[in-house]
Structure 1
Amino acid sequence: MFDVLVYLYEHYWRPDACPESEVLARKLAALGFEPEEISDALRWLDGLLSLVHGRSVAANVLSTRVYCDVEMDRLGAEAAGFLCFLESAGVLTPSLREVVLDRLCAVPNGPVGLDDFKILLLLVFWSLGEEPDALILDELFVDDVERVMH
């Protein structure tokens, strides 16, 4: 699933630049992605687009979040620390954090490792047509060599 999401991020500047789901699925299949991987990714992306459509991403400085066991199991220590870092740096608003957590829990076959978590974060920003500042963006990119080795 994550390889399909990375492909979409790299080849379409925004989700609305993607072809319709059926056409996109055929194109992805022609590129060699597995059918289950394609359907999981497109289902995940549809859920993301449903969440961010019309959602306010304004900061709420009074927001405090307590993570439930399922979220912590999906996050793991590294990803939870990275999520807290992004929030404290002002990169991720509480509203966007909730989108990220929702999409994290929507990933089939959790828990999600830090590299895959970074991909989810990139896709959340991508879905909004936003790009975090260069230093944060650098932290979010997963080196292809590292990804293959893990």
Structure 2
Amino acid sequence: MFEVLVFVYENYWRGDACPEPEQLGRKLSAHGFDPDEIRDALQWLDGLSLATQGVQVARDADGTSGTVTLRGTGEAALPQSASAMRVYSSAEQDHLGAECLGFISFLETAGVLTGGLREIVIERAMAAPGDPVALDELKIIVLMVHWSTGIEPDALVLDELCEGREGRTAH
């Protein structure tokens, strides 16, 4: 399924440029993807579309934070309190694993994920196969959430999400 999602991300840079599911399914099939993987990816993308349907994120000038508004209403969603703490359920801890939970925390601290986007990432990760979800797969999920909401991550974030750990030197 994740290979299909990467293909969609690479070929349709913005979520609104992606064709309808039936046409997308035919294109994916023509590129040789397995029918089961296509079905799973289309179902996952449908869930992503529903999760991000009313969400619009406007980044502040410094790029480190953003305002979440509800599309069509112009109303800002309530921001997360600075003293708020996300408590993960046992099911979330089991399915995401320590490495993915740590990465989500890192993205929040870096200002890449707002509280609302974090919840969409977690919801979509919970809908993904794997126990626990692999970190590389979570990175694809984060990319797809950004893709679906029309947010273009900055170059350093994109590098972190796209590059593997192999060949990196710790400083």
Normalization by structure 2: what TM-score? 0.79
**Counterpart pick for 2:152 among 108, 131, 134:** 131
One-letter code of the match for 2:34?
E
Distance 1:137 1:130 in 2: 11
In structure 2, distance between residues paired with 1:27 and 1:56: 28
Structure 2 match to 1:121: 142
- Structure of greater Rg: 2
2:44 — aligned with what? Answer: 44
Provide the aligned C-alpha RMSD in A.
1.8
Q: Deviations over 1:63-114 (max 9, x none)?
A: 3210011111121111111100011111101111100010011113442100
1:29 partner amino acid: S
- Residue 53 of structure 2 is matched in structure 1 by 53
- d(CA) in 1 for partners of 2:9, 2:121: 16
Mapped to 2, the partners of 1:115 and 1:22 lie a distance apart of 28
Query: Secondary structure, in 3 states, of the residue corresponding to 1:103?
Result: helix
Q: Note the C-alpha offset of 1:56.
A: 5.6
Q: Note the C-alpha offset of 1:13.
A: 1.7
State the match for 1:16 in structure 2: 16
Q: Which has the higher helix share?
A: 1
More strand by share: 2
| Percent sequence identity over aligned pairs | 57
Listed as ranges, the gaps of 5+ residues in structure 2 are 58-67, 69-78
Letter in 2 for 1:17: A
Letter in 2 for 1:130: I
In the alignment, structure 1 residue 31 sits paired with structure 2 residue 38: no
Count of residues in Structure 1 that have an aligned counterpart in Structure 2: 145
- Paired with 1:124 and 1:15, the residues of 2 have a C-alpha distance of 9
Unaligned runs of 5+ in 1: none
Structure number with the bigger relative contact order (C-alpha 8 A, sep ≥ 6) is: 1
Contact 1:56–1:95 under 8 Å retained in 2: no
SS at match of 1:13: coil
> Per-residue deviation at 1:6?
0.1
TM, length-normalised to structure 1: 0.89
